[in-house]
Structure 1
Amino acid sequence: MSREYFLHFSSPLNCVVQLSGSKGLSLLVSAQGKMENMLYAEELVREFLVFRGFTNTLQAFVKELGTDTGKGFQVDKILDLIFSIYVPKFQAESLFELLRFLKQCFSSLETQLNSIISDLDVSIIRYYIIHAIQAGRKDKVIELFDIHGSELLQKDQEWASWFVCRPLSFSLAMSRIPALMKISSERNVVSCLKGDIKQLNFKLAQLQVLLEEKETQLHQLRSNSLLATEVIVGTNSSSNPLAGSGEATVFGPASSHVVCVSSSPQAGEREPKHSDDIRPDDTQVSTSKISSHSSQSEKNTGNEAQREEEFPEVRVDFQETFLGHTSPISRCRFSATGDNVASASVDGTVRIWTYDSSAPVSRNATIYCGAEIMSLEWDCKSDRLLLIGTTDGGIKAWNVDAKRVVCDLSCTEAFPSVLDLKCSPVEPIFVSAAASRWPGSRDIGELGYASLTVWNMRTWKAMTVLPLGEDPPPVTSVCFNHNGKLLAAAATDGMIHMFDMSAGLQITGWPAHDSAISSVLFGSDETSIFTLGIDGKIFEWSLQNQGEVLWSTDCGRFCNLQSLSHYKQEMALDADGRKLLVTSNSLRAPIYQVRGHAYGMRTLPHSASITTVDWHPTSPIFLTGSADHSVRVTSMA
């Protein structure tokens, strides 16, 4: 390449014309004709999202359109972007991103045009280097080769022939390029090795947890075997079982069997069923009906437990563990965009953090509330506000940008415990579910009475109290539908209450469980609602045919309240509404396939029970908080 050819780079437009010619420009112009169809399609998508009320999706769609990398394939705008912004301001990263985008767009064209695109790609990068040298910014040239050295190394043939014709001073300036490329390659190798080490450490931790589980199970089996041997020896020692030496002996029915139950069931062990599980309140039902129902329930629960034992372990793309708490985790929630995570522990501490190393950490914070935290809720429209509900009746609004409490509300003294908080997806309001007693007892029936209050997020004042009747049982969970017009409330008497938020009145309700309901969620298609009882039963109810059960399962083995330090179980639906993640008093949590052919999966183990769960709003990533003081972010492969 001659010196005269090098001088053509003094003009940006000359650079493009010399290398691409009329074919290169016609290539960009031909792509412009497709934009009319693209704009029409974008408008149809926008109208559809508005019609269905998918406001969050609409906001994300508009945001993505605002970052239009290709500038609508308009030649003038692309040239202006390159030669008026990226090159003069030395924005190498943005320049490379644009060139990759254009190359990807035209990759399906004929070979001759692909060759033109490659020439244009190389020429623009050369122009950037020359401009930086002429401007005395050799540091920008070194930075470019430091970051993109490996990529340019693949084009060694083209770059080597070009550098041969450069003036002596330019060649001296470029003499460091091979060394920079080598450093860049070695840096990539080191980065890969660090990733391998991290993966091996993760697998080692998994194997250690598995080894501890197996050792515990082996110890339990040996204890059971020893006890069974002692019982057999004691029985055979006398022909008359009623004649003894003064020691009390207990006999069961002929069909019964001896079971040794650990006071703290371990992960992977099935919970035995007892006749004591029949509640005294069920005496109103006939004896034959109770016996039949109990038998069928035990049979189904046994089958379900066996299936859960056989659940395959979830395939993991990556997993990050947050260890910033010093006490068991009570709640953890993804923000509206999924970029930030808020987690709370029983000592009244809230931590805001991010799991992505590339995301900014400017919003990270620690909030000390002074009371146990029962509920967390992000503003549905942004990641700016976080609501925190405590057991002393307080509701704090934390501004993550200003890093301060912008409002400190207080419920009435009659209802000091805030059990749940939910923000409307459309209006600037939120609903608080409070109880008249502090949940210090594990008995969910001792929470007193309920109160549902609607708050304005602009004035931070109570707007209205939703009617629940006289002395209503506590509401443990609330949930808005997609457009904020309906509110579902789950109570400890097993009832589901549906409210019309525009009128502030209850419009319907039905008994969903025989026991208290711990969690309620609207389905992703907004035609069903999920409920989780403290007995472990999960139902998906139809909203079109009230009372119709579309799907159900029983995770009672994971909901043993006697072994939990907190009474409230949780569940979370993924973005597609097909995977249901449930808390567990085991080391692993089940992920059920809703109305699917497969049974489900199991999460990777914590070292203690899993107390809270949540799903990412758009990606197959979920949160698990544990009594072992840790919070894990897991991305499914």
Structure 2
Amino acid sequence: KRNVTSCLVSVLVGMGSAVERTDKHVREYLLYRGFTSTLKQLDSDIKADKEKGFRVDRIIEQLQQLVQSFDLAGLKEYWLYLDRRLFCRLEDVYRSTVNKLRTSLYRYYVINTIQKGNLEKTQEFFQKQALELQGQAEWRDWFILPFIPTPEQNPAFGAYFSRQWADTFLVSLHNFLSVLFQCMHIPVLLSFDAEVQRMTSLAEENEQLRQVLFALQTESRDQKDGDEAVQHKLPLYVQNMDRLGDTELDLVSSQRVVSAAATPSRNFFSTLLPQAKRAPMKAPPTSGSPSQAALGRKELPANHAVKSKELSQSKEVKAASCQSSSSEPPSSQPQALNHSSRHRRIQEHEKERKELFSRPAPQAAESRADDVDATAAKSAVEPPDSSGREDGGLQVEQPFIKLSQEEYGEHHSSIMHCRVDSSGRRVASLDVDGVIKVWSFNPMMQTKATIMSKSPLLSLEWATKPDRLLLLGSGVGTVRLYDTEAKKNLYEMNIDETHPRILSLACSPSGSSFVCSAAALSRSGSVDSVPRLPIPVSGQLLLWDTKTVKQQLQFSLEPEPVAINCTAFNHNGNLLVTGAADGVIRLFDMQRYESAMSWRAHDGEVYSVEFSYDENTVFSVGEDRKFIQWNIHRCGVKQSEQVLPQDATGPFVLSGYSGYKQVQVPRGRLFAFDSEGQHVLTCSSSGGLIYRLTNGEPALDRVLPLGGHKAPVVTVDWCSAVDCGTCLTASMDGKIKLSTLLAQKS
């Protein structure tokens, strides 16, 4: 009975919450239309609603309140209303059940008057109900109840004075009303809400089934596909974990090359930043003089044969690499190439591409090459104008156009964190004074909530499901779960008194759990000393369940417990990457809850880590100012490395009058990728900087400075959940800039 009751309670609570949300939307609509009189009438009707928004628990509370206050007239009137509104619509077979519940409700009232010692109300009940009850057999013996000295000891009435009878009656009434509401006709507005919830649950179930299917397919693959699979403990389901398979990548690559060859000119405003992530496409490195590169863009028919040869060679290399990443084991084909041979073929392919692009143009185009040479040489000295064209009329290939830049200036001190939620609707920003602002920027910039904290805050993270919740990590060993819509704390979790600094938080994509990095106090005893100690302090990495609000486990940090500065999940939550104060990157298998691999990545602390778009590599930024790409299938192997400027990695310094100097160590995200994983946004002293990721040297190609800041930028984020991509850059003077970008066709 308790299990059935709990199921009914969950169904009715969901229906009640749907009614509340629908009432809220209707009120918002009436207010938008200016129907103020209708809105007032709606509010008054909601206050006088006797059905309590179809919340059975509130109806039971109302009945109990009338019983406890000895309001017999109100009790009879409320039951008659329920009878006219609900019970009269039932079939005749349920009439006897309704009569039994009414009889039990009256007995519940009489027993309460005797237990409270109010015999006047007991006699009043029988006087007013005599005409109605004296003809009923179940009430025949109850008229002597007021005259029995100790009715609770009487065999005929003793059972009704027990707690068990009262609980049984209330549960039975609750279940009856729950089933009644569940079987009622639901309006279209409420059924729409239920349909949305059903589709959401189906989508989650489908995602889980896809993961199970993917795991089963990878487990059946031949384990002799390469030596790298034995070198470390990375699980099988991660070996070829591209979000798009190599076949799909090759198809997208071919389509892009063909479309680029078929359209010699581009329309700057022909496409916006896509919402869905596509396969990352790196720009081909071109060598040779500027005249040859410009001529290759302008004289399309002249080098069409060169591009065709390049495309065919690209497909050959792709076909060879597809054999190693196919999801089905080969039967009659030779053994698949391992990662090292695949990497060597790609390098050879890039070398051939450079040679092809460095060849001189045909003789028919030599007469025009001099003019293009002069124009290209001029563009190397003079930057292009705002129209995106040079004086010679050639287009400058820029991946983004900065449409606008807005400023959010509600903070009065340096920003520590600035994060956009998964839906791209809200931004949460935290400053060094512990003030958190939750605000939106689409369609207009508006502050939604302000959170003040007595204890110092060091970290924040948006929950994934639902995305309105915030995780707030303090400097006193607590993590709060805050509802940004209701503007209240839901839970406050005590993590660890010996490790009170909550340095990093990361919520799993499913929303069912989150990881929490807790560190001990610095030797100075402060929450955050600047600069940090040369010897890393002790730390813990914990996994918490967001539903039960309980700690699930503590991860093993080898070779010693150390403070974890940054954490990040992959797209399905199967992997977790962390960067620590000892310069070590650790990769955890979240299905087995154990470390898959670890390697020393930086000289000094690791400040930020992120998975690449295809999630076969990891990017990191450290105290040594290096931006490094690591291959997670080959432990400790670098894909690329780039030294960043000092103002991109910190510690950040803001100088003022009379020798005043403010120093801030990195806390928030130091770099962020666009929706396709081709470009990265970093910090600088005057605003954000956008780089293009390349396969050659250097690893980063500077594309677009965003500017707009008068103080050093300390954290960035790149929101691509909406059509127009928005870059967020937060600085030490409390200003946050939102730069709206427009992507051009590639």
Question: TM-score scaled by structure 1?
Answer: 0.49
Q: Tell me: higher relative CO, structure 1 or 2? Use CA pairs within 8 A at least 6 residues apart.
A: 2
| TM-score, scaled relative to structure 2 | 0.42
